[in-house]
Structure formats: structure tokens, C-alpha cells
Structure 1
Amino acid sequence: MYIIVVGAGDIGTPLIEIATRSGNEVVVIERDPERADEVASEHDCLVVNADATVKETLRDAGAQRADAIIATSDQDATNVMISLLAQELDIPAIVSVVHNPEHMNLFRQIGVNTIENPQRLIADYLFRAVERPSVVDYMRVGDVAEVFEITVAEDAPIAGMTLGEADEAGLLDDETLVVAIERPEADSPITPRGETRIEHEDLLTVYSGIGATPAVTDIFGHYEDHETNESDGFEF
């Protein structure tokens, strides 16, 4: 792919590394001369030291042949302007970071794929690591639903049951779906079926329409959400 990345800051720099390492043709637009020189010396990409809110800059970056543009500046107004110019230049895929949640709808109204403020996402992830230590990894889907990974404890209600049996027992409802199983002795992930039996130490990828609530994680034998930490008084 031919990708234009606008901004070489805390977000743009690792993005540039990932995109170039994956074999994409990457052009970076960076207004700061020192950052532009640093990116040019460290990454296999073309760097344009100019203002991305000027249409001619996007043309110089090859907008006419770009498959995608990703705006990572630290100002939402700048990212909006870049996105609008990209639309005028018919760049097929336009993605932008959004720092203020109140601006999210504005970006969506103009047809831009958005990424919430990464700092907030990191903070949310760290808080969840404390609040729900049983959840190995998770991703928010919409406002409430989540996809997460969780290991099956030895005393889990679902341990030893097939998915069909768990459904009949009312452990899995329409809002909860096991989508993948990683088993220590298996060479590759297991695709779950109704007759698939859940075993202790299985690492499950689970979709929950109500999120990784205590009622859901209890199914897999993790009850820490109901326990009180005596040292700090927090209830999980």
C-alpha cells in the first residue's frame, strides 16, 4: 500500500515504523524540520517537511496515488482540515486520531475513520488491568460490548463442559460467545463448536455484548471482582 502519514510525534513515529516494516510505501509529512530529518535518517520512507493543511503539500506527498492517509497531529482542527483535503483529493481511506471525544461525531459526519485519543485508551487499559486482572487482553466494541481473552480456572463452572452443555446450563447466553481457544498442548488455535469441550488452562477469546462484567468472568472461574482488597479498600 501507498500510505501517507501526517505527523511524526508520539503516535506517528511508531506507526511509521510498523508501516515501513510491513513493506508498505510510506510518505511522511512533518512540519518540524528536526523531526523530519530524524524520521528520514531512521526509516525507509520519503519525508516531506511541510504543512499538511496545504493541498499542494498533499499533492507533493503523492495523494493522487495514495491508498490511505493517517492524520496523527495533536490538534483535532488540523486533523479535520487534513481529512477534508484528503477527501477533495480522492484518497480512498482516511483515518484520523481524535483527541477530544466531543469531536468524534464531527469526524464521523465527514466520513473519516477515527481512533480515540491513544493516551486515554492506554489509561483505560491500565485501569482495567487493575480492575479486572483475570482479563488478559481486551478490545472495546461499540459503547459496551468487548472482546477479551481469559484463562479458564480449575474450578470454573464451564470447565469440563462442552459449549453445547454450557449453553443448556445457562452459562452462555446470546450475549456471550467463545470465538477461539488456545490450548497449551495444541499447535494452533481451536475453532469452537458445540461439541468442543472447555478445559482447565484453556485461553479463550470471548465476545460479550455486556462487556467483561463480573457475571461473565465468573463463568470462567475468576471471582476477584467480588473480593475486597483489604489493604486499600477497593472493591473489584
Structure 2
Amino acid sequence: MYVVIVGAGDIGTPLIEIATAGGNEVVVIERDGARAEAATEYDCLVLNDDATVKNTLEDAGADRADALISTTDRDATNIMVCLLAQELDVPDVVSVVHDPEHRNVFRQIGVNGMENPQRLIAEHLYRAVKRPSVVDFMRIGEQAEVFEVTVGEQSPIAGRTLSSANEQGLLPDETLIVAIERENEAPLTPRGDTHIEVGDLLVVYSAEGATPDVTDAFGHPEDHSGVFRRRHERR
């Protein structure tokens, strides 16, 4: 695959490493001289130039590229690069989006905008403290989430079938169990007669996210905001 990567900063550099290690033909465009020089250690062509100039993208071979990924630290720059890439008919154009308010702009121009990875890391770290029961999660839209959670001993649905749990209102509304991983067994596709056991790792979709009301159903009635508050009061 022929890939043009714009930006060789904190986001672009790991991407360059991954793309070149995967055997792709990679061209990097970086305006900063020091960063451009650093990128030459990878097996790729590096252009020390301005990607918001159409001629630069043409020099990078964007008109024959399979994909272009813009990773600069400015949304305005990324938008301009993506628009130029579309003029050159690049099939797949992807960009980092730093300001969530700009996501609609990227959607309107038909670009797949990915939230700033640094913000995602920060959110994962915060979630690890705020909701330690949630193993991993992925945001869908503004509120909904898909997350992994282990069934605890206090879970009201442990030992019950999904049908009975639903009938008794033990699962919050608009919450679906998508998959079940159980020790020494192949992953299970949940059905109405599937029993939930303590220790099961569940993949869950929740329209309201992994809120305390949702995680309570899986035996994790924790809200660490109270912990933070009590510690603050002791000081």
C-alpha cells in the first residue's frame, strides 16, 4: 500500500514506524526541518515541505497513493491537507481531530476524523481510576460506549439467564451484552437462555455509557468521586 503521512510529530512518528514496519511504501511530509531529519531513520521518503501546498502533495505522489493520513497539531492545517488530497482523488483520507467541535467539519468534507490519541489516552487513564471495573472501552458518538467488564460476586445477574435478568429489570435499558468470554472456553454468543457466571468477561453496549447505574448490574457499585472527595476533606 502506498501511504502519504503528513506530520512527523508525536502522533505521526509512531504511525510512520508502524506503516514502514508493515511493508508499506511510505512518503512523509514534514514542514519542520528537525522532525523531517529525524523521520529519515525509517524506511521512507521524507519531504521537508508544506503539505498545504498542492504541488507538495503532487511531489509526494498523492495522486497515486492508496491513502493519506494527516497528523499535524492544527485542525485547520489537517482540513486543508485533506481537501487537497480529495482534489487529487486519494481513495482514503484520514485525519487526527484535536478539537471535538471540529468533527462535524471533517464529516461534512467526507473525511474520516480520528479523535486526538493523546486525549484518548488521558480518558483511558481517568477511566482506570474512575471506573476500575471497566477493562476497556470505545466511545460511540457522544454518549454510547462499548466496554468490557468482569462479572463480580455482587452482580444481581450472576447465576441468571439473560432472559430472566431482562424480565426482572436487572439490566439497565438500552444495554446489550454482545459477547461473553469464559475461562477455558471459546467465546460465547449471548442468547436468552445463556447463564451469566461470576468471573465472566462481558462485552457490553450501553447507550448511556459505562455509568455507575450500568456497572452496578455487573457487581461493581463503585463511584470513586466519593473517594476523591473524602481524601480531599482529610487534608
> Taking structure 1 as the reference length, what is the TM-score of the superposition?
0.90
Contact kept? 2:7, 2:31, Cα under 8 Å: yes
Q: What's the counterpart of residue 6 of structure 1?
A: 6
Aligned to 1:219: 217
Cα distance between partner residues in 1 of 2:13 and 2:46: 12
Q: What do the CA deviations read for 1:87-108 (whole angstroms, capped 9, x no partner)?
A: 1101111111122233222222
1:168-207 alignment to 2 at 5 Å? 168-172=167-171, 175-186=174-185, 188-207=186-205
Identity of aligned residues (%): 68
Alpha carbons of structure 1 residues 19 and 165: separation in structure 2 relative to 1, 3 Å: farther
Say if 1:214 and 1:226, in contact at 8 Å, map to a contact too.
no
Alpha-carbon RMSD across the aligned residues, in angstroms, is: 2.0
**Which residue in 2 is equivalent to 1:34?**
34
Q: Distance in 1 between matches of 2:121 and 2:189?
A: 30
Letter in 2 for 1:228: G
C-alpha contact (below 8 Å) 1:176/1:208 kept by paired residues:
yes
* Stretches of structure 2 lacking an aligned partner (at least 5 in a row): none
> Is this contact kept in 2: 1:176–1:209, CA < 8 A?
yes
* Structure 1 unaligned blocks of 5 or more: none
* 1:36-55 superposed matches below 5 A: 36-41=36-41, 43-55=42-54
Question: For the residues of structure 1 that align with 2:48 and 2:183, how far apart are their CA atoms?
Answer: 50
Partner of 1:95: 94
> 1:16-165 counterparts in 2 under 5 A?
16-41=16-41, 43-165=42-164
CA offset digits 1:113-146 (Å, max 9, x no partner): 1122333322222222222111111111001100
Aligned residues: 232
Per the TM alignment, residue 226 of structure 1 is displaced from its structure 2 partner at its CA by: 7.7
Structure 1: which amino acid aligns with 2:61?
Answer: G
On the 8 A contact 1:67/1:91 being kept in 2, the answer is yes
Letter in 2 for 1:39: A
**In structure 2, do the counterparts of structure 1 residues 70 and 180 end up closer, same or farther at CA, with 3 Å as the change threshold?**
same
